[in-house]
Structure 1
Amino acid sequence: MINTIIFDLGAVLIDWNPHYMYRTLFADEQEMKDFLATVCTPDWNEEQDAGRSLREGTELLVAQHPQYEAHIRAFYGRWEEMLGEAFHDTVELFRRLKTGDRYKIYALTNWSAETFPVALARYDFLGWFDGIVVSGVEKMRKPAPEFYQILLDRYQVDPQTALFIDDNYRNILAAEKIGIRSIHFTSAAELEKELEALKLL
Protein backbone atom coordinates (compact mmCIF):
# COMPACT_ATOMS: atom_id res chain seq x y z
CA MET A 1 0.00 0.00 0.00
CA ILE A 2 1.61 3.26 -1.16
CA ASN A 3 1.09 6.13 1.27
CA THR A 4 4.03 8.38 0.27
CA ILE A 5 4.90 9.93 -3.09
CA ILE A 6 8.28 11.51 -3.81
CA PHE A 7 8.65 13.84 -6.79
CA ASP A 8 11.72 15.06 -8.60
CA LEU A 9 11.27 18.71 -9.64
CA GLY A 10 13.30 19.66 -12.72
CA ALA A 11 11.86 18.29 -15.99
CA VAL A 12 8.95 16.75 -14.04
CA LEU A 13 7.19 19.73 -12.46
CA ILE A 14 9.47 22.63 -13.47
CA ASP A 15 10.83 23.50 -16.90
CA TRP A 16 14.51 24.43 -16.54
CA ASN A 17 16.68 24.65 -19.63
CA PRO A 18 19.97 26.56 -20.14
CA HIS A 19 19.07 26.92 -23.83
CA TYR A 20 16.51 29.59 -22.96
CA MET A 21 19.21 31.96 -21.75
CA TYR A 22 22.13 30.89 -23.95
CA ARG A 23 20.19 31.39 -27.17
CA THR A 24 20.50 35.11 -26.40
CA LEU A 25 24.31 34.79 -26.30
CA PHE A 26 25.00 32.45 -29.20
CA ALA A 27 23.90 33.20 -32.75
CA ASP A 28 24.65 29.62 -33.79
CA GLU A 29 22.59 26.82 -32.18
CA GLN A 30 25.28 24.18 -32.63
CA GLU A 31 27.93 26.40 -31.08
CA MET A 32 25.67 26.85 -28.06
CA LYS A 33 25.13 23.10 -27.76
CA ASP A 34 28.87 22.47 -28.04
CA PHE A 35 29.54 25.00 -25.28
CA LEU A 36 27.04 23.33 -22.97
CA ALA A 37 28.47 19.91 -23.79
CA THR A 38 32.11 20.83 -23.22
CA VAL A 39 32.30 23.91 -20.94
CA CYS A 40 29.20 24.49 -18.74
CA THR A 41 28.43 20.79 -18.70
CA PRO A 42 25.72 18.95 -16.76
CA ASP A 43 28.43 17.29 -14.65
CA TRP A 44 29.87 20.70 -13.73
CA ASN A 45 26.43 22.05 -12.82
CA GLU A 46 25.75 18.99 -10.66
CA GLU A 47 28.76 19.83 -8.50
CA GLN A 48 26.98 23.05 -7.53
CA ASP A 49 23.84 20.98 -6.97
CA ALA A 50 25.93 18.86 -4.60
CA GLY A 51 26.96 21.84 -2.50
CA ARG A 52 29.89 23.55 -4.21
CA SER A 53 29.34 27.30 -4.17
CA LEU A 54 28.33 29.06 -7.37
CA ARG A 55 31.34 31.32 -6.99
CA GLU A 56 33.80 28.45 -6.67
CA GLY A 57 32.30 26.55 -9.59
CA THR A 58 32.33 29.66 -11.78
CA GLU A 59 35.91 30.68 -10.98
CA LEU A 60 37.15 27.14 -11.57
CA LEU A 61 35.62 27.08 -15.03
CA VAL A 62 36.77 30.59 -15.93
CA ALA A 63 40.35 29.56 -15.10
CA GLN A 64 40.00 26.53 -17.38
CA HIS A 65 38.26 28.34 -20.28
CA PRO A 66 39.17 32.05 -20.09
CA GLN A 67 38.04 32.61 -23.68
CA TYR A 68 34.47 31.91 -22.51
CA GLU A 69 34.57 33.98 -19.33
CA ALA A 70 31.51 36.09 -20.10
CA HIS A 71 29.48 33.07 -21.15
CA ILE A 72 30.49 31.10 -18.04
CA ARG A 73 29.63 33.95 -15.69
CA ALA A 74 26.25 34.26 -17.38
CA PHE A 75 25.30 30.72 -16.29
CA TYR A 76 24.57 31.76 -12.72
CA GLY A 77 24.52 35.50 -13.30
CA ARG A 78 21.47 35.05 -15.53
CA TRP A 79 20.35 31.68 -14.17
CA GLU A 80 16.76 32.80 -13.59
CA GLU A 81 16.35 33.20 -17.36
CA MET A 82 16.79 29.42 -17.67
CA LEU A 83 13.58 28.83 -15.73
CA GLY A 84 10.48 28.24 -17.82
CA GLU A 85 6.92 27.66 -16.78
CA ALA A 86 5.70 24.94 -14.49
CA PHE A 87 4.59 21.80 -16.33
CA HIS A 88 0.93 22.44 -15.64
CA ASP A 89 -0.32 18.94 -16.53
CA THR A 90 2.05 17.40 -14.00
CA VAL A 91 1.20 20.04 -11.40
CA GLU A 92 -2.47 19.12 -11.91
CA LEU A 93 -1.63 15.46 -11.16
CA PHE A 94 0.17 16.66 -8.02
CA ARG A 95 -2.93 18.63 -7.04
CA ARG A 96 -5.15 15.58 -7.51
CA LEU A 97 -2.81 13.43 -5.42
CA LYS A 98 -2.75 16.09 -2.73
CA THR A 99 -6.54 16.35 -2.53
CA GLY A 100 -7.94 14.63 0.52
CA ASP A 101 -4.56 14.22 2.22
CA ARG A 102 -4.43 10.56 1.22
CA TYR A 103 -0.67 10.67 0.78
CA LYS A 104 2.36 12.38 2.20
CA ILE A 105 4.07 14.06 -0.76
CA TYR A 106 7.73 15.11 -0.76
CA ALA A 107 10.28 16.44 -3.23
CA LEU A 108 13.81 15.12 -3.63
CA THR A 109 15.71 17.44 -5.91
CA ASN A 110 19.21 18.00 -7.25
CA TRP A 111 19.34 21.79 -6.98
CA SER A 112 21.82 24.38 -5.77
CA ALA A 113 21.03 25.78 -2.33
CA GLU A 114 21.81 29.25 -3.69
CA THR A 115 19.33 29.15 -6.59
CA PHE A 116 16.52 27.12 -5.01
CA PRO A 117 15.03 30.17 -3.21
CA VAL A 118 14.34 31.65 -6.67
CA ALA A 119 12.19 28.64 -7.51
CA LEU A 120 10.42 28.79 -4.14
CA ALA A 121 9.44 32.38 -4.83
CA ARG A 122 8.27 31.65 -8.38
CA TYR A 123 6.28 28.41 -8.12
CA ASP A 124 3.47 28.44 -5.57
CA PHE A 125 2.92 24.68 -5.76
CA LEU A 126 6.28 24.09 -4.06
CA GLY A 127 4.44 25.08 -0.88
CA TRP A 128 2.15 22.07 -1.24
CA PHE A 129 4.85 19.56 -0.36
CA ASP A 130 5.02 18.03 3.09
CA GLY A 131 8.79 18.43 2.84
CA ILE A 132 11.52 19.15 0.29
CA VAL A 133 15.06 17.76 0.43
CA VAL A 134 17.49 19.86 -1.64
CA SER A 135 20.85 18.40 -2.64
CA GLY A 136 22.74 21.67 -2.34
CA VAL A 137 21.62 22.05 1.26
CA GLU A 138 22.53 18.47 2.16
CA LYS A 139 25.78 18.58 0.12
CA MET A 140 25.02 15.33 -1.66
CA ARG A 141 22.82 14.49 -4.61
CA LYS A 142 21.02 11.78 -6.52
CA PRO A 143 21.89 9.05 -7.32
CA ALA A 144 23.82 8.66 -4.02
CA PRO A 145 21.76 6.28 -1.84
CA GLU A 146 22.63 8.37 1.22
CA PHE A 147 20.69 11.29 -0.28
CA TYR A 148 17.50 9.24 -0.61
CA GLN A 149 18.07 7.98 2.93
CA ILE A 150 18.03 11.55 4.26
CA LEU A 151 14.44 11.93 3.11
CA LEU A 152 13.42 8.48 4.38
CA ASP A 153 14.92 9.16 7.81
CA ARG A 154 13.84 12.79 8.17
CA TYR A 155 10.18 12.09 7.39
CA GLN A 156 10.05 8.53 8.70
CA VAL A 157 9.16 7.08 5.31
CA ASP A 158 9.08 3.33 4.80
CA PRO A 159 10.61 2.68 1.35
CA GLN A 160 8.21 -0.22 0.88
CA THR A 161 5.22 2.16 1.01
CA ALA A 162 6.76 4.94 -1.11
CA LEU A 163 6.66 5.79 -4.81
CA PHE A 164 9.41 7.84 -6.48
CA ILE A 165 8.95 9.81 -9.73
CA ASP A 166 11.99 11.12 -11.68
CA ASP A 167 12.84 11.84 -15.31
CA ASN A 168 16.45 10.61 -14.96
CA TYR A 169 16.67 6.84 -15.29
CA ARG A 170 19.93 6.82 -13.34
CA ASN A 171 18.02 8.17 -10.35
CA ILE A 172 15.21 5.64 -10.83
CA LEU A 173 17.67 2.74 -10.69
CA ALA A 174 19.23 4.14 -7.50
CA ALA A 175 15.82 4.45 -5.82
CA GLU A 176 14.81 0.93 -6.80
CA LYS A 177 18.09 -0.43 -5.48
CA ILE A 178 17.16 0.73 -1.98
CA GLY A 179 13.64 -0.64 -2.25
CA ILE A 180 11.57 2.35 -3.44
CA ARG A 181 9.08 1.58 -6.21
CA SER A 182 9.64 4.11 -9.00
CA ILE A 183 8.15 5.58 -12.15
CA HIS A 184 10.44 6.86 -14.90
CA PHE A 185 8.76 10.11 -15.91
CA THR A 186 8.42 10.72 -19.65
CA SER A 187 5.22 12.79 -19.81
CA ALA A 188 2.28 13.82 -17.66
CA ALA A 189 -0.02 11.63 -19.76
CA GLU A 190 2.09 8.53 -19.18
CA LEU A 191 2.46 9.35 -15.49
CA GLU A 192 -1.32 9.63 -15.17
CA LYS A 193 -1.75 6.17 -16.72
CA GLU A 194 0.80 4.64 -14.35
CA LEU A 195 -0.73 6.31 -11.29
CA GLU A 196 -4.17 5.08 -12.32
CA ALA A 197 -2.80 1.56 -12.84
CA LEU A 198 -1.51 1.69 -9.25
CA LYS A 199 -4.94 2.97 -8.14
CA LEU A 200 -3.40 6.13 -6.70
CA LEU A 201 -5.67 8.51 -8.65
Structure 2
Amino acid sequence: MKFITVITGDNRGFSSIFTLLAIFMIIGTLYTIGSVMHTELYQSDNFFQFPENETKKVLDDITSYLMIEEGYACTHENGMKIILLVKPVFDTDISLEDISLQIVQKGHLTILGAGDVHETRGSLFDANFWKDIGYDTFVVIPVLDGDNSLSSQKLVNGDIFFVAFKLDDMEMGDTASFSFLTPYGRCMNIEVQIPFSTSGVFRIF
Protein backbone atom coordinates (compact mmCIF):
# COMPACT_ATOMS: atom_id res chain seq x y z
CA MET A 1 0.00 0.00 0.00
CA LYS A 2 1.32 3.37 -0.95
CA PHE A 3 0.81 6.36 1.22
CA ILE A 4 0.46 9.72 -0.43
CA THR A 5 1.72 12.49 1.74
CA VAL A 6 0.23 15.90 1.10
CA ILE A 7 2.33 18.81 2.30
CA THR A 8 0.25 21.88 3.09
CA GLY A 9 1.88 25.33 3.40
CA ASP A 10 1.63 27.37 6.61
CA ASN A 11 -0.57 30.46 5.86
CA ARG A 12 0.15 32.18 9.14
CA GLY A 13 2.93 34.28 7.59
CA PHE A 14 0.61 35.66 4.92
CA SER A 15 -2.04 36.40 7.53
CA SER A 16 0.46 38.34 9.64
CA ILE A 17 1.59 40.45 6.68
CA PHE A 18 -2.01 41.21 5.74
CA THR A 19 -2.81 42.20 9.33
CA LEU A 20 0.18 44.57 9.51
CA LEU A 21 -0.78 46.19 6.20
CA ALA A 22 -4.31 46.70 7.46
CA ILE A 23 -3.04 48.28 10.70
CA PHE A 24 -0.76 50.68 8.78
CA MET A 25 -3.64 51.67 6.51
CA ILE A 26 -5.88 52.39 9.51
CA ILE A 27 -3.15 54.44 11.24
CA GLY A 28 -2.53 56.42 8.04
CA THR A 29 -6.22 57.15 7.64
CA LEU A 30 -6.58 58.28 11.27
CA TYR A 31 -3.49 60.51 10.98
CA THR A 32 -4.89 62.18 7.85
CA ILE A 33 -8.26 62.78 9.50
CA GLY A 34 -6.56 64.15 12.63
CA SER A 35 -4.40 66.54 10.59
CA VAL A 36 -7.43 67.89 8.74
CA MET A 37 -9.38 68.37 11.98
CA HIS A 38 -6.40 70.11 13.63
CA THR A 39 -6.03 72.49 10.67
CA GLU A 40 -9.73 73.32 10.66
CA LEU A 41 -9.79 73.89 14.41
CA TYR A 42 -6.65 76.06 14.25
CA GLN A 43 -8.13 78.17 11.47
CA SER A 44 -11.40 78.38 13.38
CA ASP A 45 -9.55 79.53 16.51
CA ASN A 46 -7.64 82.15 14.53
CA PHE A 47 -10.92 83.51 13.24
CA PHE A 48 -11.77 84.58 16.78
CA GLN A 49 -8.26 85.68 17.79
CA PHE A 50 -7.09 89.30 17.77
CA PRO A 51 -3.48 90.28 17.13
CA GLU A 52 -1.62 90.77 20.39
CA ASN A 53 -1.43 94.57 20.06
CA GLU A 54 -5.18 94.77 19.31
CA THR A 55 -5.97 92.64 22.36
CA LYS A 56 -3.88 94.94 24.56
CA LYS A 57 -5.65 98.00 23.16
CA VAL A 58 -9.07 96.51 23.89
CA LEU A 59 -8.03 95.70 27.47
CA ASP A 60 -6.65 99.22 27.92
CA ASP A 61 -9.85 100.73 26.58
CA ILE A 62 -12.17 98.85 28.93
CA THR A 63 -10.04 99.16 32.07
CA SER A 64 -8.84 102.77 31.81
CA TYR A 65 -10.83 105.72 33.08
CA LEU A 66 -9.18 108.22 30.72
CA MET A 67 -8.15 107.32 27.18
CA ILE A 68 -5.58 109.27 25.17
CA GLU A 69 -7.00 109.41 21.65
CA GLU A 70 -4.46 111.57 19.80
CA GLY A 71 -1.28 113.49 20.47
CA TYR A 72 0.39 116.47 18.79
CA ALA A 73 3.61 118.36 19.39
CA CYS A 74 5.72 121.26 18.21
CA THR A 75 9.19 122.43 19.11
CA HIS A 76 9.49 125.15 21.74
CA GLU A 77 12.84 126.67 22.73
CA ASN A 78 14.80 123.70 24.17
CA GLY A 79 11.76 121.48 24.54
CA MET A 80 8.33 120.60 23.22
CA LYS A 81 4.76 121.76 23.49
CA ILE A 82 2.52 118.69 23.78
CA ILE A 83 -1.26 118.49 23.32
CA LEU A 84 -3.23 115.30 24.03
CA LEU A 85 -6.87 114.64 23.15
CA VAL A 86 -8.46 112.87 26.14
CA LYS A 87 -11.77 111.03 26.42
CA PRO A 88 -13.23 109.37 29.53
CA VAL A 89 -14.46 105.80 29.14
CA PHE A 90 -17.17 106.29 31.78
CA ASP A 91 -19.38 109.21 32.82
CA THR A 92 -18.33 109.01 36.47
CA ASP A 93 -17.82 112.46 37.99
CA ILE A 94 -14.20 113.24 38.77
CA SER A 95 -12.58 116.50 39.73
CA LEU A 96 -9.60 117.79 37.79
CA GLU A 97 -7.83 118.06 41.14
CA ASP A 98 -7.87 114.24 41.29
CA ILE A 99 -6.18 113.83 37.90
CA SER A 100 -2.41 113.81 37.52
CA LEU A 101 -0.25 113.29 34.46
CA GLN A 102 2.77 111.03 34.88
CA ILE A 103 5.65 111.56 32.44
CA VAL A 104 8.71 109.35 32.05
CA GLN A 105 11.39 111.07 29.99
CA LYS A 106 15.14 110.40 29.76
CA GLY A 107 15.08 108.35 32.95
CA HIS A 108 13.20 111.01 34.92
CA LEU A 109 9.73 110.59 36.41
CA THR A 110 7.62 113.76 36.57
CA ILE A 111 4.10 114.25 37.91
CA LEU A 112 2.05 117.18 36.59
CA GLY A 113 -1.05 118.51 38.31
CA ALA A 114 -4.07 120.08 36.65
CA GLY A 115 -4.01 123.83 36.19
CA ASP A 116 -6.62 126.15 34.71
CA VAL A 117 -9.36 125.40 32.20
CA HIS A 118 -9.18 127.56 29.07
CA GLU A 119 -11.99 128.12 26.59
CA THR A 120 -9.82 128.51 23.52
CA ARG A 121 -10.48 128.44 19.80
CA GLY A 122 -8.13 128.86 16.88
CA SER A 123 -4.53 127.68 16.84
CA LEU A 124 -3.90 125.92 20.15
CA PHE A 125 -0.11 126.01 19.84
CA ASP A 126 -0.23 129.79 19.44
CA ALA A 127 -2.69 130.40 22.29
CA ASN A 128 -1.90 132.84 25.10
CA PHE A 129 -2.11 130.24 27.88
CA TRP A 130 1.31 128.79 26.99
CA LYS A 131 3.16 131.68 28.60
CA ASP A 132 1.44 130.90 31.91
CA ILE A 133 2.22 127.16 31.89
CA GLY A 134 5.15 125.97 33.97
CA TYR A 135 6.79 122.56 33.79
CA ASP A 136 4.79 121.18 36.72
CA THR A 137 1.20 121.68 35.51
CA PHE A 138 -1.02 121.01 32.52
CA VAL A 139 -4.00 123.03 31.31
CA VAL A 140 -7.32 121.75 30.02
CA ILE A 141 -9.13 122.92 26.88
CA PRO A 142 -12.74 121.66 26.64
CA VAL A 143 -13.83 120.19 23.31
CA LEU A 144 -17.23 118.71 24.21
CA ASP A 145 -18.63 119.95 27.53
CA GLY A 146 -22.41 119.79 27.19
CA ASP A 147 -23.32 120.77 30.76
CA ASN A 148 -20.45 123.24 31.18
CA SER A 149 -19.23 121.25 34.20
CA LEU A 150 -15.63 121.21 33.04
CA SER A 151 -15.44 124.96 32.49
CA SER A 152 -17.43 126.08 35.53
CA GLN A 153 -16.69 123.39 38.13
CA LYS A 154 -13.52 121.69 36.83
CA LEU A 155 -15.52 118.47 36.86
CA VAL A 156 -15.12 115.74 34.24
CA ASN A 157 -18.26 113.67 33.59
CA GLY A 158 -17.88 112.22 30.12
CA ASP A 159 -16.43 115.40 28.60
CA ILE A 160 -13.84 115.32 25.81
CA PHE A 161 -10.95 117.73 26.22
CA PHE A 162 -7.38 118.59 25.28
CA VAL A 163 -4.53 118.54 27.80
CA ALA A 164 -1.63 120.89 27.05
CA PHE A 165 1.78 120.93 28.74
CA LYS A 166 5.45 121.61 28.07
CA LEU A 167 8.43 119.28 28.24
CA ASP A 168 11.88 120.67 28.88
CA ASP A 169 15.00 119.24 27.21
CA MET A 170 13.01 117.23 24.66
CA GLU A 171 14.31 116.77 21.12
CA MET A 172 13.40 115.00 17.90
CA GLY A 173 13.98 111.27 18.26
CA ASP A 174 13.59 111.27 22.06
CA THR A 175 11.16 108.88 23.71
CA ALA A 176 8.65 109.69 26.45
CA SER A 177 5.66 107.97 28.01
CA PHE A 178 2.47 109.54 29.37
CA SER A 179 0.03 108.09 31.91
CA PHE A 180 -3.03 109.62 33.55
CA LEU A 181 -3.42 108.81 37.24
CA THR A 182 -6.95 108.87 38.65
CA PRO A 183 -8.79 107.32 41.61
CA TYR A 184 -10.67 105.16 39.10
CA GLY A 185 -9.48 102.42 36.77
CA ARG A 186 -5.86 101.90 35.84
CA CYS A 187 -3.18 103.98 34.16
CA MET A 188 -3.33 104.12 30.39
CA ASN A 189 0.29 104.34 29.33
CA ILE A 190 1.24 105.80 25.94
CA GLU A 191 4.88 105.59 24.87
CA VAL A 192 5.90 107.81 21.97
CA GLN A 193 9.03 108.68 20.08
CA ILE A 194 9.11 112.25 18.87
CA PRO A 195 9.42 111.93 15.08
CA PHE A 196 11.84 113.90 12.95
CA SER A 197 9.63 116.42 11.20
CA THR A 198 10.04 119.57 9.15
CA SER A 199 6.48 120.60 9.97
CA GLY A 200 5.77 123.17 12.67
CA VAL A 201 3.08 120.97 14.23
CA PHE A 202 3.25 117.19 13.91
CA ARG A 203 1.37 114.19 15.19
CA ILE A 204 3.18 112.01 17.72
CA PHE A 205 0.68 109.12 17.69
Structure whose CA Rg is larger: 2
- Of Structure 1 and Structure 2, the greater helix share is in 1
Q: Shared fold (TM-score greater than 0.5)?
A: no
- Of Structure 1 and Structure 2, the greater strand share is in 2
